[in-house]
Structure 1
Amino acid sequence: MVLVPSTLMLFLGAWGIRRQDAIWRDEVVTYDMAHRALADLWPTLLHVDVVHGLYYALMHCWFAVYDATFGGVLGDTIGLRLPSVAAMTAAAAGVALLGQRLVGRRAGLFAGVAFALIPVVQQYAQEGRSYAMVCALVVWSTYLLVVAAARPRRKLWVGYAALMLFACLLHEFAVLALPAHGAAVVVARLPRRVRRSWALASVGVLAGLAPLAVFSTRQSAQIGWLMWPDPVQLLTFTVLAVLGVAAARVPVRSRGPVGLRAIGIPLLLLPTLLLFLLSYAEPAYVDRYVLYYVTGFALLAGAALARLLRPAGERGQTRGRRLRRTAAVALVVAALLPVNVHLRSPDSRVDDASAVARAVREVAEPGDGLLFMPSRRRIWRAAHPRDFRGLTDLALARSPVESHSLYGTERSGDAIRDRMLTARRIIVAGDPDGQPADDNDQEIAKRATLWDSFESCTSREVRGARITVYARPGECGG
């Protein structure tokens, strides 16, 4: 029951894990921060990305072991994503155990398999960010909640609080699992003693999270790029929510004091809906922030499948009906194959820092100037710094490490213009066409100087970026 889902998840996580060595900008941030010395990491977190600080520290320790043992053989991209694969494998095992605990062994088996087959689960199983770890911790904390509701023990509640706090410290929006758990406790009408224990554990989690939550409000500008929720992400949630609620209508017999619907429906719906409502006050909705909602869908779907695909001969189940239902499930799984293949291609992410580095290397000449437009795209350089050797970053004042930042600090607009005018050729690594342009002094100076004093020689679009070579008028032929 546990071995099949976890083995399947491990296989799907390992399948195409290199993604042709493509690495997108958020993963580059992880790689860069994890390879900074701890003495440099802490001052950086005081300025930026403190919400991911614990994850970066864990990845720093992981890479210290991985680089010394496997780095030269397996490569950086595998090392970056292996912890997420392991976390999702643990999550699949936890979902299977939850299904068994709530309904039975077959429901647990189908729930774990359904979890592993969800495309968004496979996507973040192969991503060097914290979301897979958070999902696994929420799954296992939910398991401890269900066990503690049936057999209240202090150590179970302590374990529940510890796992939830760990998840929240890895990413603050894991706290939205608490309302889902609270709804399950209320709907299941658990004894007052259990409700009190859950409330105390939740207060402990909130108290432990409070210092990070308060401090991180100083860095809220980091998610200023968020606008209205992505329609594709909303569609994914809507489809899973509708299918999950439909699956909840299939009659199943729950075990223990916490029923399947009592925990499955709140976990599926509440975290995403609460984050969506929060976005009306300040845009914050991204599906990966509450990725663990798929656990609710997997539990409901697994129980429904166990009921609908029960062996022929059981009450109300003929061989022909079972074959038709099995064929329908097989068709759904087959329909997901193109999506799964796409997720393992470089085109599945918004950009590819490896492709940017290769494109720059192909057009660069010694002594060329280099500009990143906007400056935050300097993160592309962190993944493959060797491909940028021999180029002069004309706008850079202090490197990311020196300035304790993600992208470094840039000179004033006038200073950038003066340095650009000393260059014969400039390579610009910028956003693709159609993206909004930043309006600060530095970006305005870059655009104005290129327009006034240079001409475009060649331009090439790679995944999520455009690489353009500029030269002084009349020198493109050289």
Structure 2
Amino acid sequence: MRVRAWPVWVAPVLLTLAVTLTGLGRAQLWRDELATWSAATRPVGDLVRLAGTIDAASGPYYLLVHGWVELAGDSTTALRLPSALAMTGAAGLTAVLGARLAGFRAGLLAGLLFAVLPGTSRYGQEARPYALATLLAVAATLLLVAASRRPGAARWVAYALVVAALGLVHLVALTLLAAHAVWVLADRPGGAAERARRLGRWALAVLPAALVVAPLVVLARGQRGRQLDWVDAARPGDLAALAGGVTQSGVVGGLLVGLAALGAARLGRRALLPGGAVLLPMVMLFVAGSLVPLWVPRYLVFVVPFGCVLAGVALTVAPLPPAVAVVVLAGLLGLPDQAALRRTHEWPRGATVDYRGAARIVADERRPGDAIVYEPRDSWLFLDLGLAYHLGDRLPRDVLASEDPVRRGDLWAAECARPAACLAGVDRVWLVVAGRRADPVAAVPGAKGDALRTFRVQRVRQPHGLTVALLSRR
């Protein structure tokens, strides 16, 4: 059967679907996904309040997941399935974009290469907005090409709607518009007046999206200090690590960069759109990240399909069988990372936090009247969310929580000011501490630690990344 007998997107879609669904629920939810679960399972009013407090940038995504959870539940597989489907759609659209810009074979190879990248699996198996942003970024670019070459109100409206959705899902992905603007100006020859008309038409399409997203930008900017307090300023060395970060494999990332560079050289002027869609968001985020804490490699996952388009062009210099062999090689080189990301989503891979193991320890030995205490309480590890997700109604009473995260409109609970008084009447306490601690009570500072030292340690267990101690009243 001839390859062209099938639409260019079919093979990439089927391959990506198979890859992303394999082991979809195997790795337990990690800290960022626990934040998604906590937000998405709140009533809509409480979810809106959370967006106003700490996580406005992710608020629209949380609202989408809230609706999904109402239909599909909140199992690990259910929470991740929308991302797997989004990455599958992104693979198909990558193939279509590549075919539109450089021919059928370039599109097919681009889509297949995107399917086998470890990063496609990693972010296609994560309950976070990056897969959806990737889908929307490719869709917006494809619509831009269609609207520019066959102008029509319906195409520009569709483009405007997708750009607005892209901004609502992932604000950083709006840096893609810089590449769109450059391409609109340079795509076709014409005088200054003609270029101004093209740019004006594009700006008119983008304007509604800007108006929709602007309030979110203002709100998110005010929350940056809390939301990104863990991010360091960008350094030149970070650029060298970016390809490995977004593809989740240094070797595969290096191969992709090399192929993309060859493809850009082969395309010449036609590389302006995919090349700009890779380079301009990267440069803009790096410059911004050197001034304020914004440089997080996974924020740029949405540029990967455009790199794959360029790589697909490079592979067309060879007949189809050897070109497909290079795609297979990329898949084989990424197999260790594919296996690792299905064990844990933490980075580095050895830094697993075994919330499920800790929950199992508590569930096996808990008694009515038991309490549970966490240290640290306000960290990004979300110890309380991890235990709550896995234990549900079996979770012991969170005795030190004076106000839970939902009531606070936050991701963290407030703890009582007088721990000894809050622990009065409690005979057994489960203490969950980050890291491996021979003496877990000693790891608890201040009045909280003093109150816990009135108990004696009965047992200490250490699931990966955590210490779980059972304390009983002296």
TM-score range relative to shorter protein: 0.7 to 0.9
Question: Is the Cα contact below 8 Å between 1:114 and 1:298 reproduced in 2?
Answer: yes
Choose the corresponding residue for 2:447, options 445, 448, 451. 445
**Counterpart residue number, 1:196:** 200
Q: Distance in 1 between matches of 2:76 and 2:281?
A: 31
**Counterpart residue number, 1:304:** 314
Alpha-carbon shift at residue 385 of structure 1 (Å):
3.8
Cα distance 1:235–1:4, how it changes in 2: closer, same or farther (>3 A)? Answer: closer
Query: Structure 1: where are the runs of 5+ without partners?
Result: 68-74, 254-258, 312-321, 435-441
Alpha-carbon shift at residue 387 of structure 1 (Å):
6.4
Partner deviation per Cα, 1:426-452 (whole Å, 9 max, x = no partner): 322232259xxxxxxx963334544x5
**Counterpart residue number, 2:411:** 406
Q: Distance in 2 between matches of 1:429 and 1:272?
A: 39
Partner deviation per Cα, 1:234-275 (whole Å, 9 max, x = no partner): 64357377325423355248xxxxx54101211122212321
Letter in 1 for 2:24: I
Q: Distance in 1 between matches of 2:213 and 2:189?
A: 26
Choose the corresponding residue for 1:236, options 228, 245, 248. 245
**Counterpart residue number, 2:94:** 95
Q: Secondary structure at the match of 2:160?
A: helix
Letter in 2 for 1:98: L
1:462 aligns with 2:467: no
Question: Is the Cα contact below 8 Å between 1:91 and 1:135 reproduced in 2?
Answer: yes
Alpha-carbon shift at residue 181 of structure 1 (Å):
1.8
Per the normalisation by structure 2, the TM-score is 0.83
Q: Secondary structure at the match of 1:36?
A: coil
1:338 aligns with 2:336: yes
Q: Secondary structure at the match of 1:163?
A: helix
Letter in 1 for 2:315: L
Q: Secondary structure at the match of 1:462?
A: coil
**Counterpart residue number, 2:398:** 393
**Counterpart residue number, 1:427:** 430
The aligned length equals 438
**Range that drifts further, 161-170 or 274-283:** 274-283
**Counterpart residue number, 1:41:** 47
Q: Distance in 2 between matches of 1:223 and 1:416?
A: 30
Question: Is the Cα contact below 8 Å between 2:84 and 2:125 reproduced in 1?
Answer: yes
Partner deviation per Cα, 1:259-300 (whole Å, 9 max, x = no partner): 541012111222123212212222122222221110121101
Letter in 2 for 1:135: T
**Counterpart residue number, 1:266:** 276
**Counterpart residue number, 2:4:** none
**Counterpart residue number, 1:319:** none
**Counterpart residue number, 1:11:** 18
Residues 74-473 of structure 1 aligned to structure 2 (within 5 Å) = 76-188=75-187, 191=190, 192=195, 193-220=197-224, 221-227=226-232, 235-236=244-245, 239=254, 242-249=257-264, 251-252=266-267, 260-310=270-320, 322=322, 327-346=325-344, 348=346, 350-376=352-378, 377=382, 378-386=384-392, 388-389=394-395, 391-412=396-417, 415-420=418-423, 423-433=426-436, 444-450=446-452, 452-454=453-455, 456-471=457-472
* C-alpha RMSD of the superposition: 2.8
Q: Distance in 2 between matches of 1:445 and 1:309?
A: 71
Query: Structure 2: where are the runs of 5+ without partners?
Result: 1-7, 247-252, 438-443
Q: Distance in 1 between matches of 2:147 and 2:227?
A: 38
Alpha-carbon shift at residue 117 of structure 1 (Å):
1.3
Q: Distance in 1 between matches of 2:308 and 2:52?
A: 38
Q: Distance in 1 between matches of 2:464 and 2:154?
A: 50
Letter in 1 for 2:212: G
Identity within the alignment, %: 32
Q: Distance in 2 between matches of 1:422 and 1:15?
A: 48
**Counterpart residue number, 1:63:** 69
Per the normalisation by structure 1, the TM-score is 0.83
